[in-house]
């Protein structure tokens, strides 16, 4: 991401980050595309430019934080095929979490095979969704 955009977003001030956190936050945005970079002892980042539905990996993931724009704005991200792709990328008991709590999304997640739960949302959001791969 362009450094000017990162600075304009002003997340470091908004989140009241400390010096070490600011350094780590900066590293996230400096990682080159298509390469692994160890950010901390327990966190390695690999930024890829690929459509989610076309992403393949031999690695399995424990969690997916699904923060696409909502189904009304970005309907192509809320399809059965996208949720199937995510399901196949998750490890057993892996979790997809999203701020979207729309009934049609929950039904699609269930159809793919997830166990779906409603959770209390963050401030300003009544609820959110957690889907667990069974």
| Per-domain boundaries in the chain | 1-49, 52-134
- Predicted TM-score (pTM) of the model is 0.78
* Domain at 52-134, CATH from 3.40.50.150, 3.20.20.80, 3.40.50.10490, 3.30.450.20: 3.40.50.150
Per-residue pLDDT tens over the stretch 27-73? 888 888 998 899 999 888 988 999 998 999 999 999 999 999 999 99
Q: What is the pLDDT of residue 8?
A: 83
User: How far apart, in Å, are the Cα atoms of 117 and each of 15, 98, 100?
Assistant: 28, 11, 12
Mean pLDDT of 15-29: 86
User: How far apart, in Å, are the Cα atoms of 126 and each of 99, 100, 130?
Assistant: 9, 10, 14
């Amino acid at each position: 991401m362009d450094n000017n955009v990162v600075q304009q977003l002003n997340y470091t001030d908004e989140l009241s980050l400390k010096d070490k956190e600011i350094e780590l936050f900066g590293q996230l945005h400096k990682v080159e595309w298509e390469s692994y970079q160890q950010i901390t002892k327990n966190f390695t980042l690999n930024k890829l430019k690929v459509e989610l539905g076309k992403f393949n990996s031999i690695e399995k993931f424990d969690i997916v934080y699904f923060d696409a724009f909502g189904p009304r704005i970005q309907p192509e991200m809320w399809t059965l095929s996208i949720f199937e792709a995510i399901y196949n990328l998750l490890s057993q008991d892996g979790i997809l979490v999203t701020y979207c709590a729309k009934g049609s999304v929950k039904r699609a997640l269930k159809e793919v095979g997830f166990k779906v739960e409603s959770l209390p949302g963050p401030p300003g959001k009544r609820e959110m969704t957690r889907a667990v791969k069974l």
